[in-house]
Amino acid sequence: MNIYKFELKMLKSSILIWSLAISLSLFMYLAFYPAIAADTSAFDALMENYPKELLAFFGMKPELPMSTLLGYFSLTFGMMQIPIAIQASNYGFHMLSVEEREMTADFLLSKPITRTKILVSKFLASFTSLTIVNLSLWIATLLALILFKGDTVLELRNVYILLSSIVLFQLFFVGVGMLISVSVKKIASVISFSMTLGFGLYIVFGLKSTFSNDLLAIITPYAYFEPAEILISGHYNLLYTLICVFVIVVSFGLTYFLYNKRNIHSL
């Protein structure tokens, strides 16, 4: 597919930067675990004295103290979810609006192709990039966990499950980004939108934890795939996962419908 190849080529540097940045950051964070483990061995006992709300604020569960490898990993993975969200949102907001913003719509949309083909090709290119980032995170995580585990006995099963959540997490942001981009007249600055979506939903998650308000959890993927929860329980929350899939399906469906109907105006 020519559009797919073209779009993928345009994403080349983005793929490189994001995959390196996120996976190296994760690796770096984990590299400090040995230092932490040494300093904070007293954590464990103290964690028991804590009110759940406070721990929740940091995304920590008493069952998974930060002094353990996985506890620390849950914290750092939680932080990595932010740039993952921002990258996915970026793609979502950018992919369809760019043609109108850069005024190349007259060129591309007057070619003998359907709007659907454009949508699918662009999405696949973005998804390829997101998958490469996803893979690099898998590699960085597993490598780091093995290298820096110290004395811990490594049980990777739950880690695999957590890592598998990345793809749904990304698709949520791509989907919502795309839907918003075809619903508004013009997006002048993609980055403002993607930052707002990616970071805004993180703040909602923070509030939800502070409030122990589960209602807020419904709208934020940071809650659907909370690292500590998954690492402890070893499975996804069924309700949240269904909501996430629902949002993804609905946003993709609506995007398809709205993009096909969209009027592309001239200057």
Selected binder of other proteins within 11, 70, 86, 133 (CB under 8 A): 86
CB of 246 to other proteins, least distance (A): 26
Give least dist CB 245 to other proteins, A. 28
Contact 71, 65 (CB under 8 A): yes
Residue type at 136?
Answer: S
Contact call for residue 188 and other proteins (CB under 8 A):
yes
For residue 118, give both structure tokens: 């454009």
Residue with the two structure tokens 């993180």: 202
Q: Which stretch binds other proteins (CB under 8 A): 160-168, 178-186, 200-208, 219-227?
A: 200-208
Please, which residues have CB within 8 angstroms of residue 11's CB and are 6 or more apart in sequence?
A: 125, 126, 128, 129
Residue whose C-alpha is closest to residue 221's, from 249, 191, 235, 200? 200
CB–CB of 47/65 below 8 Å? yes
| Contacts of other proteins in 206-265 (CB under 8 A) | 206-207, 210-211, 261, 263-265
**Per-residue binding letters, 135-174, with other proteins (x by CB under 8 A):** ----------------------------------------
63 binds other proteins per the rule CB under 8 A: no
Q: Alpha-carbon distance 123 to 168, whole Å?
A: 15
Q: What is the dihedral of CA 23, 29, 31, 35, to 10 degrees?
A: 180
Instruction: Determine if 185 is a binding residue for other proteins (CB under 8 A).
Output: no
Count of residues near other proteins by CB under 8 A: 58
CB atoms within 10 A of CB 48: 8
The minimum distance between CB 170 and other proteins, in angstroms, equals: 17
Closest to 79 measured CA to CA, from 26, 115, 123, 35? 26
Q: Cβ closer to other proteins: 196 or 237?
A: 196
Of the ranges 75-83, 136-144, 219-227, 246-254, which one interacts with other proteins (CB under 8 A)?
75-83
Q: Which two tokens stand for residue 104?
A: 């190349």
Name the β-bridge partners of 61: 64
Alpha carbon 191 to its chain centroid, in Å, reads: 16
Q: Given candidates 154, 192, 250, 257, which one binds other proteins under the rule CB under 8 A?
A: 192
Contacts to other proteins by CB under 8 A: 2, 6, 10, 21, 25, 28-29, 32, 35-36, 39-40, 42-43, 46, 49-51, 53-54, 57-58, 66, 79, 82-83, 86, 102-107, 109-114, 117, 188-189, 191-192, 195, 199-200, 203, 206-207, 210-211, 261, 263-267
